[in-house]
Structure formats: structure tokens, C-alpha cells
């Protein structure tokens, strides 16, 4: 059932062979970090990486507090379908982008959920990630999922997701999509194909079981 399908985004892509593997595993979206990061890539590198990418796979530019000029360059490049904002950007910036927007909200405590109200009208989608100190995203750690258990808006779940906890996350929450990154790497930007496969298979297996339960309810 379509409404029961959790979309999968693999982020921090830096190698062509990892993209090919993810595509063959059935990835829905690929994330490219343009902000300062161990996984940072340039627009020129992204163009090289996505050459001959099959249709219907979304490409996401990940930025942190970009200048309007940088957003315009991303839009004009024709390389992306979404921009994912990870900083303290003003809601107007998200509203004005010609691409679809994702606003990452970093969660350390309940007080961080105030950001939902700030961005829910300007972003196409919200993404919940882990905040540890001043570091937001790419921590390899999960946050307390109970903090978002009552969020009714469709959202993307990120933050330390991998084969060891993805099933628990899907059981406890109902995310529109999951964002996988550091927990399936050998080192930043270098994906471990075994861990990617294991994580993707667990997501798809969970979906199959859930879909079977839904079908039984309609019999």
C-alpha cells in the first residue's frame, strides 16, 4: 500500500560506486552535502557523481545557513530536486526557493520542538535530526524519539539510523521517510555496502509485514 511505504534517503554521497549500489538497492533520494563537512562535495563533483542517474531518484542539496547567492547557484545548476536546510535560515528563504525545501530541526530536548511552529508553513517537509552540543546532524547518535511521537505533520527521520535500530524506529514512529548516513559508513563519505544492504532490507521487510497486517484488516 502506497501510504505505508517509507521512503529511503541515503545522504553524504561522495563516491560514484556508492551511488550505483544505492540505486540498485532501491534508494528513493540521494543527499549531497554542500556545506562544510567531512562529506562536502562541490557542484562540479555532484554533476560528475549523478551522470546517467536513472529517473525518479530525488537529488537533495544539503546546506547550512547559505547566502542567497549560493541558493541561486544551486537552483540554476539543475542538479537537484530539493534543498535541505540545516541552519538557522529564515522561513522566507525556504518559501522563496524554486526547489522543494526540507528544514532540518535538530533535537536535544522538548524545547527544540518550538522550531516546528516556526517552519511548518514555509518548508515542504520537516526533518528531525540529533543535536549534540553545537553539532547538528552527522553525529551517528539517535535522539529521544518519544519527543516527536505526537508530531502529526509528515516528517523525515534522521539521526544515527542503521541496521541495529531502524526496525525499532519504524515500530515506534511513522516517518514519511528515513535519512541514512553515518551508521552505514566505514568513514565519512565512504559507504559500507554490507551495512547499506542490511539496513535497506530491514526497512523493506518491516514494510512488507506492516502491509500484510493492513491487508488483513480489510478482509
Task: Tell me the pLDDT tens digit for each residue of 160-207.
Answer: 999 999 999 999 998 999 999 999 999 999 999 999 999 999 999 987
CATH code at position 142? 3.20.20.70
- pLDDT single digits (tens) 124-158: 999 999 986 555 555 678 999 999 988 989 999 99
First to last CA, the chain: 15
Q: Are residues 28 and 203 in contact, defined by beta-carbon separation less than 8 angstroms?
A: no
Specify the number of domains making up the chain: 1
Query: Which residue segment(s) compose the domain that 26 sits in?
Result: 2-218
Is there a catalytic annotation at residue 18?
no
Is there a catalytic annotation at residue 164?
no
Tell me which of 129, 144, 164, 179 is the catalytic residue: 129
The model scores a pTM over 0.75: yes
Tell me which of 11, 18, 144, 179 is the catalytic residue: 11
Amino acid at each position: 500500500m502506497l501510504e505505508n511505504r517509507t521512503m529511503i534517503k541515503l545522504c553524504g554521497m561522495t563516491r560514484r560506486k556508492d551511488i550505483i549500489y544505492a540505486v540498485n538497492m532501491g534508494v528513493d533520494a540521494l543527499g549531497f552535502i554542500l556545506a562544510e563537512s567531512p562529506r562536502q562535495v562541490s557542484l562540479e563533483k555532484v554533476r560528475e557523481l549523478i551522470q546517467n542517474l536513472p529517473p525518479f531518484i530525488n537529488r537533495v542539496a544539503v546546506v547550512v545557513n547559505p547566502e542567497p547567492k549560493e541558493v541561486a547557484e544551486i537552483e540554476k545548476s539543475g542538479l537537484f530536486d530539493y534543498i535541505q536546510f540545516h541552519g538557522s535560515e529564515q522561513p522566507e528563504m525556504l518559501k522563496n526557493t524554486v526547489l522543494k525545501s526540507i528544514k532540518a530541526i535538530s533535537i536535544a530536548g522538548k524545547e527544540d520542538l518550538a522550531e516546528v511552529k516556526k517552519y511548518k508553513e514555509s518548508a515542504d517537509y520537516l526533518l528531525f535530526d540529533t543535536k549534540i552540543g553545537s553539532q547538528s546532524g552527522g553525529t551517528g547518535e539517535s535522539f529521544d524519539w518519544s519527543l516527536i511521537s505526537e508530531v502529526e505533520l509528515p516528517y523525515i527521520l534522521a539521526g544515527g539510523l542503521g541496521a541495529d535500530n531502524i526496525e525499532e524506529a519504524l515500530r515506534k514512529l511513522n516517518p514519511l521517510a528515513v535519512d541514512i548516513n553515518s551508521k552505514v559508513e566505514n568513514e565519512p563519505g565512504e559507504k559500507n555496502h554490507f551495512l547499506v544492504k542490511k539496513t535497506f532490507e530491514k526497512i523493506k521487510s518491516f514494510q512488507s509485514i506492516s502491509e500484510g497486517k493492513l491487508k488483513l484488516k480489510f478482509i
